[in-house]
Structure 1
């Protein structure tokens, strides 16, 4: 009873809005409270230009992501899991890099909450993966997950989800296989394909129909570039991919992958 009382006193002493970040290593896990990260000696004030979530310049208290990711190796694969079902697939190497594009964990202070992302929407907190000099490593907007609750070490996507794989007879450097890599980087955080993937954010991109089956090629490209230019509604959550983020040559390879996967539906579904 005494331990329960002390625990309840501890919970009541936490600031309103305080959160916990978890790192799941598979065989062990670690966690940090908001206050613990805000008070960490590596935490500093960080200015982000043209923030992906807020689409304007922002200032955060942030810690180099490599600091809480101690024990993670550059060749590991991580998944950043958000409160809204977004599940970003991330190679660990860029997250640990201390040169070029650098990954930071922005920490929302309950005493100074961040602004909402829009009308009737929450903020990007409690934790948000942001980047300095993202152009140096061609960082995609999907590599800026917000409302992060945990990071989980996982096997690579190709090992976890066979239903996503192109025909194994294709050359490794084929445009379709390159498109598969781009799909993992830019699409898999929000979408499943053939029912495979961990995201719970957007629709499946192959079942029952692949977008290449109902979009003419030029309109599909336009949709990926600027979704609101074809389907405009206030609750839309997909942001466009500009040519600076996804060059035309890469967009073509991504569409080649989708076209290919339309012929590889699971269980022959259509």
Structure 2
């Protein structure tokens, strides 16, 4: 009797593990909607003839050189240009949403950054990221990112979908700067920084697709309760100001946001603090 119970328990555990593994495989599906809806599994992506082993120096997430099995993103999407007034929206299972402009994705010169979709094989899982854990199964990485000015927030992981959407400016007039603001103003530059680095996690005046962090203007803007030095320190290293076990915001060093861009971002936030729409 004891043996039978032990055997039954072991069998149940093995079955549960098998079901969990099957569930993981089923969940590893990528949705692509760029003129026709497709869903591709990990196995289908790894079996593509253009899948290759690539080496990524200075990987943004792991902060070291990484090697991945990946497919070229442009070939995967199957398009050579973006419709006018549109951009590629990339969403992740953790609520992160970033956007690739036509210029970023396709370039306007001979030399350009090359985007790849890295694919995590169930047999060779990627390392865990401190504070984040598993980043698979799909991760957009770049070869020669400096050639196109790729930002740190344009390396999305836990990716689950690509689709074409109207530009942020067209969809979310709430984040716009008034026409009276000079073209060379820090505020305008800060709006560009916000649209690249911040809206991937935060909304502003309810505008944005992401749901990782809170709205940065409603009910209160960070400039309402942070002194300038404290807000800069918080963006550079959140834990230097406040910390809690489940905090998600990473720090942005000078490679991610330069000192001048940080000043511009804070100028934009201060400007928007008076425009809680």
**TM-based fold match above 0.5:** yes
Compute the displacement of 1:72 (Å).
5.5
Find 1:237's aligned residue among 223, 226, 248: 248
Aligned-CA RMSD value:
2.3
- Segments of 5+ residues of structure 1 without an aligned counterpart are 1-11
Change (3 A) 1:14 1:83: closer
TM-score (norm 2): 0.83
Change (3 A) 1:157 1:122: same
Equivalent residues, number: 253
CA distance in 2, matches of 1:79, 1:245: 21
Indicate the residue corresponding to 2:151 in structure 1: 140
- 1:3-18 equivalent positions in 2, closer than 5 A: 16=25
Q: Give deviations 1:216-264, integer Å, cap 9, x for gaps.
A: 1111111111112212334322112211221111111111110100010
Indicate the residue corresponding to 1:87 in structure 2: 97
* 1:162 counterpart = 2:173: yes
Equivalent position SS for 1:94: helix
Indicate the residue corresponding to 1:109 in structure 2: 121
CA distance in 1, matches of 2:125, 2:45: 15
Q: Please identify the structure whose Cα radius of gyration is greater.
A: 2
Indicate the residue corresponding to 2:262 in structure 1: 251
- Structure number with the higher helix fraction is 2
Equivalent position SS for 2:195: helix
TM-score (norm 1): 0.85
* 1:58 counterpart = 2:66: yes
Compute the displacement of 1:192 (Å).
0.3
Q: Give deviations 1:168-221, integer Å, cap 9, x for gaps.
A: 332344321221111010000000001111111001100111111111111111
- Segments of 5+ residues of structure 2 without an aligned counterpart are 1-20
CA distance in 2, matches of 1:191, 1:209: 13
Which range moved further: 197-206 or 236-245? 236-245
* 1:24 counterpart = 2:33: yes
Compute the displacement of 1:13 (Å).
8.8
CA distance in 2, matches of 1:122, 1:244: 23
Indicate the residue corresponding to 2:106 in structure 1: 96
* 1:124 counterpart = 2:132: no
Indicate the residue corresponding to 1:5 in structure 2: none
Compute the displacement of 1:96 (Å).
3.4
CA distance in 2, matches of 1:96, 1:138: 13
CA distance in 2, matches of 1:199, 1:259: 21
Which range moved further: 234-243 or 145-154? 234-243
